[in-house]
């Protein structure tokens, strides 16, 4: 039986007062509860786990994790809430999501403190994340009143209407790297379309995710329409399998790596559950001969090293035409040096620095050259959670970095003699999420864009971009389905055909067996 502590509805405000304590024993650590059926659940059938700050290694909070029983109750509660939420009209849903936007603004400092209590994020990342989250939630509010059906023509004169209706409880698994934006996108889009949400929180940011349940309930969302579940690392496969296989969980959306996306897609296929997968890739920036090289250098560096490269849309590779390759490398290096970056850029996942170092070392072993590093020696200046922003050339196809998304501040440059070579190389990748083309010849850019096997192409803009009315998602192994606007409506609703027969007829039953 779940024990519920009704006095911890605002638990997050008390826990923030303890965030900066330098020496806290476990009994004094703030507790991050589950959020089930509108209540903060402070104990469960499973154990609690201690979260440690990714950079300092200090214990920051105690996390209540869901066992089989709590997960079952959350699913059942989500289904019950769906029976109410699906009948709430779009204008009321819009109003609730607008309330969410208002509270997001009022509680921005609270979200900032919670993030910093769990991990290291730069000021520009936090402020950009909050602005983006507000923008996308405002867009989801508009989506709520944009869900529309159609009345198609029929050949027999009968009347048909095509409705778009929600699936039901949706399992949402957002990524950690742009936390507020990705969390809000995975919650607000399906809610706007009439679904309810089972949110799997990130184990890297438990205190941040603990704020979301109270936020939506305070905005007027019915109890149970958003459930937030924490899982221990060892139980994640079992609990996620429990949810996907449950008859009442009707859809899954996931933002994360290709590797995990494939595992979830296979599990969804096993149970014939629809899914929306926004996965990563090795996003390319193409620099053509007519490009403004300084603009290209600025946008490419920002797109590569923003949030320490921890962005699914981050620029991983520059594909530059040989006519301007030497000059562009010079401009790119000068622009990077002018930025005056420090030795290393902090990352969130434990071991990320070591992973980036391994990719770099392997690339150098296979013949890569360092064009720029904020440290004189990239490999020696890394730490378990950081790595210096680094640009390399002569990357061999034998190296791991050639094939794998780094999710770190690593950028490689590749030179080609023609646009066709650039196109062939780009399309040879198994992924295709986003890209950039830098040129002043828009006809050339458009022709190239038409043939790129990529979900988004930004001409004279960086690879990182998201807007509430523009469909967001990838091609090939970068996933399927779309967030935002009409894309969200198509992803988070299903069609239903209702046909009215104007002139009913009786069919000749005796003719069924004739001629057999």
3-state class of 274 per DSSP?
coil
* Other CB atoms within 10 A of residue 494 CB: 16
> What does each C-alpha distance from 181 to 175, 260, 295, 479, 492 come to in angstroms?
10, 20, 27, 19, 18
Tell me the C-alpha distance between 1 and 201, whole Å.
22
Q: Which residues contact 204 (CB under 8 A, 6 or more apart)?
A: 54, 118, 119, 176, 348, 349
* Other CB atoms within 10 A of residue 417 CB: 11
Strand partners, 383: 386
Q: Is residue 254 a contact partner of residue 278, using CB atoms and an 8 Å limit?
A: yes
3-state class of 479 per DSSP?
strand
Sign of CA dihedral 73, 78, 81, 83: negative
Kindly give the interhelix angle for 108-118 and 123-144, rounded to the nearest 10 degrees: 130
Burial level of 319, CB count in 10 A (0-12/13-18/19+)?
buried
> What does each C-alpha distance from 106 to 38, 101, 110, 319 come to in angstroms?
21, 9, 9, 43
> Token pair 């590093």 is at which residue?
373
> Token pair 């939420």 is at which residue?
85
> Token pair 């399992």 is at which residue?
171
3-state class of 52 per DSSP?
strand
Kindly give the interhelix angle for 179-192 and 123-144, rounded to the nearest 10 degrees: 0
Tell me the C-alpha distance between 363 and 184, whole Å.
37
Positions annotated as catalytic residues are 278
Strand partners, 254: 173, 277
Q: Is residue 279 a contact partner of residue 263, using CB atoms and an 8 Å limit?
A: no
Q: Is residue 173 a contact partner of residue 193, using CB atoms and an 8 Å limit?
A: no
Q: Which residues contact 199 (CB under 8 A, 6 or more apart)?
A: 172, 174, 183, 186, 187, 209, 212, 226, 227, 228, 229
Q: What six digits make up the tokens of 244?
A: 């996907």
The kind and range of the H/E element at 278 are strand 275-279
């Amino acid at each position: 039986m779940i024990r519920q502590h009704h006095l911890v509805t605002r638990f997050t405000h008390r826990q923030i007062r303890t965030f900066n304590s330098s020496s806290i024993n476990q009994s004094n650590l703030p507790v991050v509860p589950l959020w089930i059926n509108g209540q903060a659940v402070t104990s469960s059938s499973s154990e609690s786990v201690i979260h440690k700050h990714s950079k300092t290694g200090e214990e920051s909070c105690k996390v209540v994790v869901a066992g089989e029983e709590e997960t079952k109750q959350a699913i059942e509660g989500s289904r019950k809430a769906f029976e109410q939420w699906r009948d709430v009209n779009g204008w009321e849903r819009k109003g609730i999501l607008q309330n969410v936007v208002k509270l997001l603004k009022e509680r921005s400092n609270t979200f900032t403190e919670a993030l910093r209590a769990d991990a290291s994020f730069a000021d520009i990342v936090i402020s950009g994340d909050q602005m983006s989250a507000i923008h996308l939630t405002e867009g989801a509010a508009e989506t709520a009143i944009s869900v529309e059906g159609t009345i198609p023509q029929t050949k027999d004169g009968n009347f048909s209407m095509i409705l778009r209706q929600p699936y039901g409880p949706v399992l949402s698994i957002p990524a950690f790297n742009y936390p507020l934006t990705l969390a809000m996108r995975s919650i607000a889009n399906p809610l706007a379309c009439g679904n309810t949400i089972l949110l799997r929180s990130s184990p890297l940011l438990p205190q941040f995710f603990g704020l979301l349940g109270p936020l939506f309930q305070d905005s007027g969302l019915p109890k149970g329409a958003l459930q937030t579940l924490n899982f221990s690392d060892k139980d994640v496969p079992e609990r996620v399998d429990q949810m996907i296989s449950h008859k009442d969980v009707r859809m899954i959306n996931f933002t994360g790596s290709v590797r995990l996306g494939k595992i979830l897609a296979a599990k969804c296929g096993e149970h014939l559950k629809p899914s929306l997968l926004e996965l990563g890739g090795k996003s390319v920036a193409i620099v053509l001969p007519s490009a403004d090289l300084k603009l290209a250098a600025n946008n490419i560096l920002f797109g590569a090293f923003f949030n320490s490269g921890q962005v699914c849309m981050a620029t991983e590779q520059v594909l530059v035409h040989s006519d301007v390759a030497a000059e562009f490398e010079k401009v790119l290096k000068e622009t990077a040096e002018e930025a005056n970056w420090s030795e290393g850029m902090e990352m969130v996942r434990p071991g990320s620095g070591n992973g980036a170092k391994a990719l770099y070392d392997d690339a150098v072993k296979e013949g890569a050259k360092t064009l720029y590093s904020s440290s004189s020696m990239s490999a020696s200046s890394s730490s378990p959670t950081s790595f210096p922003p680094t640009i390399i050339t002569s990357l061999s196809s034998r190296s791991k970095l050639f094939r794998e998304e780094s999710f770190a501040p690593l950028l490689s440059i590749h030179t080609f003699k023609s646009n066709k070579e650039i196109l062939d190389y780009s399309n040879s990748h198994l992924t295709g999420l986003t890209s950039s083309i830098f040129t002043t010849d828009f006809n050339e850019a458009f022709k190239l864009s038409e043939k790129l096997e990529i979900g988004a192409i930004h001409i004279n803009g960086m690879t990182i971009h998201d807007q509430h009315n523009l469909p967001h998602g990838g091609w090939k192994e970068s996933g399927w389905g779309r967030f935002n606007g009409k894309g969200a409506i198509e992803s988070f609703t299903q069609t239903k055909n209702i046909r009215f027969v104007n002139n009913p007829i009786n069919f000749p039953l005796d003719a069924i067996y004739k001629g057999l």
